[in-house]
Amino acid sequence: MNIYTQKQRWKALLLVAALLIGAASLWYTSRLVKQLSEEEKKKMQIWAEATKRFAAVGTNEDIVFLSSVISNNTTIPIIQTDDKGKIMASRNLDSLREKDMTYLEQHLQIMKSEHDPIFIDFKSELGGFKQYLYYEDSSLLVKLRYYPYFQLAVIALFLFVSYLAFSTSRKAEQNQVWVGMAKETAHQLGTPLSSLMAWLDYLKMKGADKEYTQEIEKDVIRLQTITERFSKIGSAPSLKKEDLSEVMQHSMDYMKSRASDKITFKLVPPVNEVHAPINVPLFEWVIENLLKNAIDAMGTPGKITVTITDQHQFAYIDIADTGKGIAKANYKTIFKPGYTTKSRGWGLGLSLSKRIIEEYHDGQIFVKSSEPNKGTIFRIVLKK
């Protein structure tokens, strides 16, 4: 199991844990809200009973007690109506608008939608008449109902900001590692390369076999190119408009000479020449990485087709192979450092290619399409 598979599993586990915590919080708050709602209903029933008895009070002690029960309700908004729905009294609503019948009617409709009314039957207390008590949830209960959503939103925002900060910091650290590794590699190659060039000159002076010295010289030039590529990582490379067909053909010829004769290379050029600003050593590095991966994915026989398309302001380069394909879930993962399906691979080629295309050429590279056992098409998009 590679590091990115483990990472995806950890993300899934953390997401499940977060959902469980959120569900538990909502469930517990819902229980509290339900309990408080029942308590408020009981208070309203007691208030209604006290109002009914207040009408038939007999002693001063009863007046004080019942009055205290009625006046103690300072949080739950209520509206009393007669049996025909006419508003008789209200309490704990906006004191500045208590005489506004439109305002009271609006709140009455809200109360009707929230709770069933409490029936008050004044049979003999005041000659016999009926009233209905409507009420709505107190502000405390409303706040408690929405509190977990607010809490979860704040936690989610905190986690999102923390993730962005961590991701930015990690990316900056990765960039430093990339640059440091590339510069150090170029530096380490410089000394033996200089020595090889001196030895090559010495062999030529001594009249060594020309065939041998030419082959050695090719390898030395190749090492110079590799050193130049590594030295450019981390600094802004100079871009120059180049004919993409020529550059692609040069890279394909180089890889063709090092691949099996059973692998066919085909370039499909555009109708007219297409030029784009590129840095040739770095861009060829990308193409060689893609072609090498295609060769490794195909075995023999196989076919690699490179198609260059002119799309007005952009140039498309499609590199298609007839290999084993890539799972759709790995379309983005394959460009991350360390991801590889090879037993001896480092998983840096595609990651480096993506960095070169997107950061140094302001372009795009992605998997256009892939089918199991049929092949894969990588697409590079460059601005003209």
CA distance 322 to 304: 7
pLDDT at 85: 85
pTM: 0.55
What number is the average pLDDT over the span 76-101?
84
Q: Check whether 343 has a pLDDT greater than 60.
A: no
The DSSP bridge pattern shows strands 314-320 and 129-135 to be unpaired
In terms of CATH architecture, what is 237-383? 2-Layer Sandwich (3.30)
CA distance 118 to 80: 10
Q: Tens digits of per-residue pLDDT, 233-256?
A: 766 778 999 999 999 999 999 888
Do the Cβ atoms of 341 and 303 come closer than 8 Å?
no
To the question of domain 13-137 being in CATH 2.30.110, the answer is: no
Q: Tens digits of per-residue pLDDT, 133-185?
A: 898 888 888 888 888 888 888 888 888 888 888 888 877 777 777 677 777 77
> Residue 325 — left, alpha, or beta (φ > 0 → left; ψ -120 to 50 → alpha)?
left
Which of 58-72, 106-120, 154-168, 292-306 has the weakest average pLDDT?
58-72
Tell me which of 299 and 375 has the higher pLDDT.
375
Q: For the chain, what percent of residues have pLDDT higher than 90?
A: 18
Do the Cβ atoms of 370 and 377 come closer than 8 Å?
yes
Q: Check whether 52 has a pLDDT greater than 70.
A: yes
pLDDT at 377: 94
Q: Check whether 129 has a pLDDT greater than 70.
A: yes
User: Domains of the chain: which residue ranges?
Assistant: 13-137, 143-230, 237-383
Q: Tens digits of per-residue pLDDT, 199-231?
A: 888 888 888 888 888 888 888 887 887 787 777
pLDDT at 307: 95
Domains 13-137 and 237-383 fall in the same CATH topology: no
Tell me which of 316 and 373 has the higher pLDDT.
316
Q: Tens digits of per-residue pLDDT, 266-290?
A: 999 998 899 999 999 889 989 998 9
> Residue 127 — left, alpha, or beta (φ > 0 → left; ψ -120 to 50 → alpha)?
left
b/e per residue, 298-337, with b = 16+ CB within 10 A? Answer: beeebbbbbbbbbeeeebbbbbbbbbbbbeeebeebbbbb
In the three-class reduction of DSSP (H, G, I as helix; E, B as strand; rest coil), residue 85 is classed as: coil
Name the residue among 241, 249, 245 with its Cα closest to residue 269: 245
pLDDT at 60: 54
pLDDT at 345: 54
CA distance 227 to 353: 16
Helix-strand-coil percent breakdown of the chain, rounded to 5?
Answer: 60, 20, 25
Burial of 48 (0-12, 13-18, 19+ CB in 10 A): buried
